[in-house]
Structure 1
């Protein structure tokens, strides 16, 4: 947001300076307190070229914008590393027996948060069915299929008497990664 503000500020500075009239071209009419402008007809091609010149954006502006973009890039790298650490912790949870249900629930929650960042509305009061219906209305086919399957796995581990096995956990990971890939590809 700050970058957009800086760009607008710079554009307004350079665009606003074009409409100024030099003082020697302004005549004050004393009877009416109004200002009038002399009409100057350039006689030489040099005068025409001089009047046609515009200000250029100084190199310092590009340097500042480059530094700002570089800083934004640097701040994004730790965020990516945090996400990878979370992924490693989650995979360690899976390796322990009895925590397979938690792993599937975590991948479902991460998928919901990822879709929420993309613009899909989410409230704590939504059921998994409501969330699936919202995704079906607003997303592309690949994401819909992956999220529907992940929702079924979530439902199985939360509400079914059947036990979650290693294949279910691996399938949940695969569906989450597909969603993550499609969301980052479209972002």
Structure 2
């Protein structure tokens, strides 16, 4: 079993040219600025402040790199959408995001986070379509699942699972809460699979 508690911050990069060498294996976390990416990474690694969380969505303006073993990395991509930031900065983030997703050879899987109360916005869907087109497996985490009662949570997950069939690729949908711990084990198992499969293929 992989020990994600070992994760340490290594660098923040404005674009892929400033990232570590394109070797080994990475899994990237992406989502709208208010989707709870930082909280999910902190919960996964059992560290309170590995990834910075903020009351102001959109604080992740750079590609943040965390390494937990030799050539094994977790990537926190710039949030998209919601953040109230100047347009030129927003365009810069989007360019860095697109470049990373299209050109990074060691990327092995993509975790897309969406608030369970507002899932599958256009940019979320664009991201998943891109990943599927690139033969990249996707895990969709419907975050803040603790905000819904169990019945509503279950029906939302089923609805999004049904909708995700339209993407036509390897897309798994699960409820997730960094507060209550719902879905954390499923996330950990999925990452283990991706890193192990990558190691076997190399």
Superposed pair shares fold, TM > 0.5: no
User: Which structure shows the higher strand fraction?
Assistant: 2
Query: Greater Rg, structure 1 or structure 2?
Result: 1
| TM-score, L = length of structure 1 | 0.29
More helix by share: 1
TM-score of the superposition, structure 2-length normalised? 0.27
